[in-house]
């Protein structure tokens, strides 16, 4: 019989809270129940979660039960919600799941909330939903920014005939494989020197001191999930003075990733501090905030900005590597954050605007909104609409969880979709199949008042994480999908 193996995702799915109890439960159960069927183990864990007091006498389960027992709370830290809540402007409501709506409603009741909006690609996340925009006063919500701080899009446009992507496909596949690295926890053997690693924040904050070594080795890499680097065709139908490109077709290099382990550790560390300082009820707990005039808030703001600049540096390293290989300089670059908080003035007030999975769309501001691995992405110019707090969607948005996508989408369907759209996929998996995402055309239609489209990006060669459990048709280490092998 195979030994028991649990994951944090499985424990969270049955209701276990974020924190040390998850790793504790995994380790204890894998050690003490190693040959027990997983279904039975999960039922035991559900019972402990439902009534921890009943297991305090158990030699093994008591350790888990103690972590789940209600802790004596400092009543001075308990925060009362604003029952009425602020008004939230919702764009494309018919496309948004109730989970995201509920999370945004919770955010609207925070006593620090001033204004909010929900984008048409929204879906549920931790704390603020993905696609959620929240303006607060003198306060920052770490989980309102997100775990992948500074996650961003970066598009380099080259004056190269995009037909070469078909004519010399093997060449461009090789360049992507040799210039990129994907995967959770993955890093390079040797770090690439970059000025972002010389930032003084790495020496000023204890957490950042501990994270610097790993961050140096991950610079220029991408994570897992929906992160990608891809070649495609950039189409400009008419000249736009801000985009600055003549009408025509160009070769584009588009990347999507964030601040790797650096951002994740910052987010989780300061969320724990925020939750301890401000105890919110039930499912609003992850919306705990830090004031910007207290030490932890000042530290988080410094660390968040560093993580954002680090994410930008990761993209620049990738794009510069590939530009060298192509022996061309890009004629235009467009990039934008979408997991970040900004100090902005709205209606005469100094506010902190969180955009978790939302693209800045101030008047004349350029950004990139991708579709899926086969759907077009859009180069957009913001209209500066105050109703959305100068924001727009950051992509198509998921309509299926990863687990549901893995269960319901077949390899045959994914292969058929790729072939139909003429896309070569390197790595990737069913959880990122186009069918797991909303229709980008409907998303864009729902935000016509927020952005103007000034160009499109049509993906042709896409590279994503090649984690073994996601793959079909592995070919050695480059994990290229070839004819459904």
Convert the pLDDT of each residue in 342-393 to its tens digit: 999 999 999 999 999 999 999 999 999 999 999 999 999 999 999 999 999 9
Considering 22, 48, 72, which residue would you say is the last residue of a domain?
Answer: 72
pLDDT surpassing 90 at residue 66: no
Report the DSSP pairing between strands 113-123 and 88-90.
parallel
Count of domains in the chain?
2
* Inter-CA distances, 151 with 102, 196, 431, Å: 24, 16, 19
Confidence tier at 470 by pLDDT (50, 70, 90): very low
Q: Report if residue 91 sits inside a domain.
A: no
- CB proximity list for 103: less than 8 A, separation 6 or greater: 124, 125, 127, 128, 129, 132, 283
Q: Report if residue 96 sits inside a domain.
A: no
pLDDT surpassing 80 at residue 310: yes
Q: What is the pLDDT of residue 306?
A: 98
Task: Tell me how far apart the alpha carbons of residues 168 and 11 are, in angstroms, rounded to a whole number.
Answer: 46
For residue 157, what is the domain's CATH number? 3.90.1860.10
Q: What is the pLDDT of residue 451?
A: 98
- CB proximity list for 327: less than 8 A, separation 6 or greater: none
| Percent of all residues in the chain with a pLDDT value above 70, rounded to a whole number | 95
Q: Report if residue 281 sits inside a domain.
A: yes
Considering 72, 88, 110, which residue would you say is the last residue of a domain?
Answer: 72
Residues 393, 359 contacting (CB under 8 angstroms)? yes
Q: Residue 213's domain spans which residues?
A: 152-470
Q: What is the mean pLDDT of residues 454-469?
A: 86
Q: What is the pLDDT of residue 32?
A: 87
Residue 186: other Cβ atoms inside 10 A: 17
On whether both 310 and 171 belong to a single domain, the answer is yes
Chain mean pLDDT for the chain:
91
Tally of helices (H runs) and strands (E runs) in the chain: 15, 17
Q: DSSP alpha helices (H): ranges in 33-74? A: 38-50, 61-68
On whether both 209 and 328 belong to a single domain, the answer is yes
| Consecutive H or E run containing 293 | none
**What is the torsion angle, in degrees rounded to the nearest 10, for the CA atoms of residue 447, residue 453, residue 455 and residue 460?**
10
pLDDT surpassing 80 at residue 217: yes
Buried/exposed code over 205-243 (b: 16+ C-beta within 10 A; e: otherwise): bebbeebeebbbbbbbbbbbbbbbbbbbbbbbeeebeeb
pTM for the full predicted model: 0.81
pLDDT surpassing 80 at residue 475: no
Considering 18, 41, 72, which residue would you say is the last residue of a domain?
Answer: 72
**What is the torsion angle, in degrees rounded to the nearest 10, for the CA atoms of residue 186, residue 188, residue 189 and residue 191?**
-140
């Amino acid at each position: 019989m195979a030994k028991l193996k649990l994951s944090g995702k499985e424990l969270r799915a049955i209701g276990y809270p974020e924190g040390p109890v998850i790793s504790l439960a995994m380790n204890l159960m894998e050690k003490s129940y190693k040959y027990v069927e997983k279904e039975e183990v999960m039922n035991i864990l559900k019972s402990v979660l439902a009534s921890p007091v009943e297991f305090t006498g158990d030699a093994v389960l008591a350790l888990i039960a103690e972590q789940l027992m209600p802790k004596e709370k400092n009543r001075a830290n308990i925060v009362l919600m604003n029952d009425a809540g602020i008004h939230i402007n919702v764009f494309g409501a018919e496309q948004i799941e109730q989970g995201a709506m509920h999370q945004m409603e919770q955010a609207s009741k925070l006593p620090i909330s001033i204004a909010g909006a929900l984008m048409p690609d929204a879906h549920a996340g931790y704390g603020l939903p993905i696609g959620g925009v929240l303006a607060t006063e003198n306060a920052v919500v770490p989980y309102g920014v997100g775990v992948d701080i500074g996650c961003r899009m970066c598009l380099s446009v080259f004056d190269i005939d995009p037909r070469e992507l078909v004519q010399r496909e093997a060449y461009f596949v090789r360049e992507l494989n040799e210039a990129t690295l994907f995967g959770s926890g993955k890093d390079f053997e040797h770090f690439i020197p970059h000025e972002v690693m010389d930032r003084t924040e790495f020496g000023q904050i204890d957490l950042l001191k501990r994270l610097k070594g790993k961050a140096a080795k991950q610079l220029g890499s991408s994570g897992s999930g929906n992160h990608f680097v891809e070649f495609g065709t950039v189409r400009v139908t008419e000249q736009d003075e801000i985009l600055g490109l003549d009408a025509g077709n160009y070769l584009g290099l588009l990347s999507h990733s964030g601040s790797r382990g650096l951002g994740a550790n910052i987010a989780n560390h300061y969320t724990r501090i925020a939750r301890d300082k401000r105890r919110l009820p039930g499912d609003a707990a992850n919306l705990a905030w830090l004031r910007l005039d207290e030490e932890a808030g000042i530290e988080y703001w410094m660390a968040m900005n560093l993580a954002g600049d680090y994410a930008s540096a990761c993209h620049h390293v990738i794009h510069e590597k590939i530009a060298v290989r192509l022996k061309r300089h890009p004629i235009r670059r467009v990039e934008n954050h979408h997991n970040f908080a900004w100090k902005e003035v709205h209606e005469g007030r100094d506010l902190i605007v969180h955009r978790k999975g939302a693209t800045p769309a101030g008047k004349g501001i350029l950004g990139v909104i991708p579709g899926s691995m086969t759907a077009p992405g859009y180069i957009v110019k913001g209209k500066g609409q105050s109703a959305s707090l100068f924001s727009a969607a950051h992509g198509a948005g998921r309509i299926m969880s990863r687990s549901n996508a893995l269960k319901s989408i077949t390899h045959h369907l994914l292969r058929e979709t790729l072939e139909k759209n003429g896309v070569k996929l390197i790595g990737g998996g069913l959880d990122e199949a186009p069918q797991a995402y909303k229709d980008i055309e409907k998303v864009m239609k729902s935000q016509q008042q927020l952005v103007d489209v000034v160009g499109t990006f049509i993906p042709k060669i896409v590279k994503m994480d090649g984690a073994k459990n996601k793959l079909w048709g592995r070919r050695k280490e480059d994990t290229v999908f070839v004819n459904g092998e």
